[in-house]
Amino acid sequence: MNQVVVITGASSGIGAALAELLGSKGARLALAARRGPELAAVAARAGAQALAVTADVTRREEVARIAEECLARHGRIDVWINNAGRGISRSVLELSDQDFDDMMTVNVKSALYGMQVAVPIFRRQNSGHLINVSSVLGRVPIAPFRSAYSAAKHALNSLTANLRMDLRAEPTIFVSTVHPGVVATEFGAHALYGGPDSRQLAGAQSAAEVAEVLASVIAEPRADVYTRPQAKQLVLSYYGAEDMADAERKPPFWSP
């Protein structure tokens, strides 16, 4: 695999697992996250060519710096993966202005910055692949206590689809969305206001398994991918229901 790949949110979880997997396949990596020591440890495991860039992707200028440092080291960017994100444990009626702003900034604006930095580079190269890591919660409300996170991922899905439409006349630039479900990472433990630990939830998918799906999307670009096939069936049945409220009264939709 002779590609240069940028991964945000790479200090743990899905990002770290993907970095190690792609590094083992020979990819040249630029890994970004706020936690410097943890990021450096992931980069060391991902191979000698992995570049660690300590950066806050909620700041546009720092996203631009990630690209600059990657280009300075590797000379190009073939794949840009917006993976950074954070959850929340509050229902709609409990949300403050700051809660909602935080969710949109971390989960949507950071990816928007990545899109706006990466695509001009892809255009100059006449090739590239933008991948946004979303969530099944960006499709269906199966966990209302993640309300603002769900809303943010819905927004991310829309921005991604609209970008893909914008680039229809540029067939060498691909745009993909990948939707994991519950993944056994620190995501739940790090959510605002606490909440269930994703690593303790029954049926949680491993970060390594999600990384394999992401690697397959890099190898064979597709527009919209679920990391488990049953998730896609759930989405199809929900939006195909005559009355969504009836669907929401049945498993696996969450109830208190």
Domain containing residue 204: CATH number: 3.40.50.720
In a domain, 247, yes or no: no
In a domain, 9, yes or no: yes
Q: What is the pLDDT of residues 160-189, one digit of tens each?
A: 999 999 999 999 999 999 999 999 888 888
In a domain, 241, yes or no: no
CA distance between the termini of the chain: 46
Q: Alpha-carbon distance 57 to 11, whole Å?
A: 13
In a domain, 144, yes or no: yes
Domain total of the chain: 1
Per-residue pLDDT of the chain (256 residues; tens, 9 = 90+): 789 999 999 999 999 999 999 999 999 999 999 999 999 999 999 999 999 999 999 999 999 999 999 999 999 999 999 999 999 999 999 999 999 999 999 999 999 999 999 999 999 999 999 999 999 999 999 999 999 999 999 999 999 999 999 999 999 999 999 999 999 888 888 899 987 777 877 778 999 999 999 999 999 999 999 999 999 999 999 999 999 999 999 999 866 5
In a domain, 35, yes or no: yes
> By C-alpha distance, which of 1, 256, 3, 8 is closest to 132?
8
In a domain, 245, yes or no: no
In a domain, 210, yes or no: yes
Domain that holds residue 40: 4-230
Give residue for tokens 């597709």.
222
pLDDT of residue 187: 87
In a domain, 15, yes or no: yes
pLDDT of residue 76: 98
Contact 54, 248 (CB under 8 A): no
| Enzyme catalytic residues | 149
